[in-house]
Structure 1
């Protein structure tokens, strides 16, 4: 669906060359919700602008639905861009137009007849849940309603791809979840491919099938969301995962834990799927001469199933603790002994 080959974008600022996107190669499947996450300055916004032709690459190629978007210009780019729509962090609505008129705007530009515009706009208003607000102006809408208008407008030309540039970061948590639920519904109903860039791991966790982690313009890690959660490889990925698990790998936190539990071992357990529902600690206590207590725990739902992290204090003879750890590994529970060094 989307094929990106050795994509690179350079800017020159005050005679200095800045590489915003650096040799990115990846494929995004049709109908997939694909997330790109990174901190500020990682190159996410430039990357997504390269996907819809708002920026042209220094080198490399972007293909969407078999069309070469990279280096496309003029009328051919304008026509192709109708099938690749975008929703924005700050909505970008026309403040002098009503909800209906904002949604109809891209259809006017495309030369769609008035009758067809009306029918399509009404269907989109129902799809995004804005019935009764058709005649309202943006100033009369909440943040979530404004973003619903933005989503409906992006869908007006029946695109194949929907791009989201930090589409929920201006919203409160409850509204964010409602918008994410709407995007999942749109993805399932219309089969549309969605690419989201964000700095919020919650967005990735809740709706994405796969995720790419960006740092300094490069994709440093990529895979199914659950796989990345379970076994993050890069330090930047571990920082993002810790946002959701609540496990903070910082020295003051570890010092406090070890002050409270001077003997035994502190173990961080990571488990997925049905393992999150099994009485693992009960089995440890029953089968080994150890005591086990939960110090900290968190379970998150992803598109592919639940993902859980526990910090557990295990006390007992060293040999018994070692056997308990081997048992955990044998049942596919990742166990990491925390260190205070």
Structure 2
């Protein structure tokens, strides 16, 4: 369990005091994948350095696996840090060392004997899927392979917490998905707690159990990922969610439909969990004297279940359209009227 209680981190600058983390309290459960998302300047990078004691909070307490890292020093702090490893955005590999030598470096520093290092390195290479690249140098690897080396190296000391600081930001979408799948596999196989710092909602949606949204150093929203997708409250959260669910060409499709059917009611429907599999539109047409035009739709799977949106235009006399909308609400499907010309 990781607990932050009223944590604030301030820096003295030439322009005065900068509050990077502002009175943050949160709890992260053992073995979960927890996401922290925010735009540049939100305080994410400072936050992640607080988890492993690289930064000390100005006030508040941080408990990591029973150790208050805001108070301990010396050998106790070093021991606590060994249980918290980090994966970096730009890999931070040693370019003069091979894959296996990069992974072994952490074990060398820890004083692990050579035979034990070799066994551990072989296990980690298998874990991250780098068999056959043991003797390769970083310059001979793709971005995804470099990040796999970084992940293997971070796992060498058998940490209890893995911090990922924008670990997929330098990767293309396909490679990003592969690395995210690897992190899920590691989480399940090792039961390790993973904390992801990112500005990409796709990353949160794909693998996180819960998410905290940061803005100007504060946590403005927190909760289960599916819950946050279903009902984003803060404006910045709504913006992040919209980036994932809004498809390209959606606005143009809406405009064309409005021009073709100017009297229709334009509605966005929200589906959660098993509701994404129900033939709601078919039922709507059968029960009511309305015409339904599907404009755009998208289903986003999360670790807690699927979340989908569907933009439709319902045409008919006002009374029938109203009954159709009420029927959707009775089925537990949230809706939002976009326009009514």
Q: Same fold (TM over 0.5)?
A: yes
* Cα separation, 1, equivalents of 2:61 and 2:256: 50
Ranges of 4+ aligned residues in structure 1 off by more than 6 Å: 250-254
Q: How many residues align?
A: 340
| Structure 2 counterpart of 1:85 | 85
Shift of 1:340: 7.6
| Structure 1 counterpart of 2:24 | 24
CA contact (8 A) 2:290 2:316 kept: yes
| Structure 1 counterpart of 2:280 | 280
| Structure 2 counterpart of 1:222 | 222
* Cα separation, 2, equivalents of 1:195 and 1:259: 47
| Structure 2 counterpart of 1:155 | 155
Instruction: Describe the shift of the 1:8–1:190 C-alpha distance in structure 2 as closer, same or farther (beyond 3 A).
Output: same
| Structure 1 counterpart of 2:327 | 327
CA contact (8 A) 2:42 2:215 kept: yes
* Cα separation, 1, equivalents of 2:71 and 2:101: 32
Instruction: Describe the shift of the 1:44–1:260 C-alpha distance in structure 2 as closer, same or farther (beyond 3 A).
Output: farther
* Cα separation, 2, equivalents of 1:85 and 1:91: 13
5 Å-filtered alignment, 1:202-241, equals 202-241=202-241
CA contact (8 A) 1:251 1:340 kept: no
CA contact (8 A) 1:53 1:72 kept: no
Shift of 1:73: 3.1
| Structure 2 counterpart of 1:69 | 69
Instruction: Describe the shift of the 1:263–1:247 C-alpha distance in structure 2 as closer, same or farther (beyond 3 A).
Output: farther
SS of the equivalent of 1:45 reads helix
CA contact (8 A) 1:161 1:195 kept: yes
CA contact (8 A) 2:253 2:296 kept: no
CA contact (8 A) 2:253 2:295 kept: no
CA contact (8 A) 1:268 1:312 kept: yes
Shift of 1:254: 6.5
* Cα separation, 1, equivalents of 2:74 and 2:190: 29
* Cα separation, 2, equivalents of 1:82 and 1:149: 18
* Structure 1 stretches lacking a partner, 5+ long: none
| Structure 2 counterpart of 1:137 | 137
RMSD: 1.8
SS of the equivalent of 2:147 reads helix
| Structure 1 counterpart of 2:59 | 59
Instruction: Describe the shift of the 1:141–1:282 C-alpha distance in structure 2 as closer, same or farther (beyond 3 A).
Output: same
5 Å-filtered alignment, 1:258-269, equals 258-269=258-269
Shifted more, 317-326 versus 306-315: the winner is 317-326
CA contact (8 A) 1:254 1:340 kept: no
* Cα separation, 2, equivalents of 1:22 and 1:340: 42
User: Under a length normalisation based on structure 2, what TM-score does the superposition of the two structures give?
Assistant: 0.96
User: Under a length normalisation based on structure 1, what TM-score does the superposition of the two structures give?
Assistant: 0.96
Shift of 1:65: 0.6
SS of the equivalent of 2:267 reads strand
* Cα separation, 1, equivalents of 2:220 and 2:338: 25
Shift of 1:22: 0.6
* Cα separation, 1, equivalents of 2:69 and 2:137: 34
Instruction: Describe the shift of the 1:83–1:256 C-alpha distance in structure 2 as closer, same or farther (beyond 3 A).
Output: same
SS of the equivalent of 2:197 reads strand
* Cα separation, 1, equivalents of 2:167 and 2:261: 43
Instruction: Describe the shift of the 1:215–1:83 C-alpha distance in structure 2 as closer, same or farther (beyond 3 A).
Output: same
* Cα separation, 2, equivalents of 1:117 and 1:26: 37
CA contact (8 A) 2:265 2:340 kept: no
Shift of 1:114: 1.2
1:176-227 per-residue CA deviation (whole Å, 9 max, x = no partner) reads: 1110010000000000000001011111111111111111111111111111
SS of the equivalent of 1:12 reads strand
* Cα separation, 2, equivalents of 1:251 and 1:14: 45
- Structure 1 residue 174 and structure 2 residue 174: aligned? yes
Instruction: Describe the shift of the 1:279–1:219 C-alpha distance in structure 2 as closer, same or farther (beyond 3 A).
Output: same
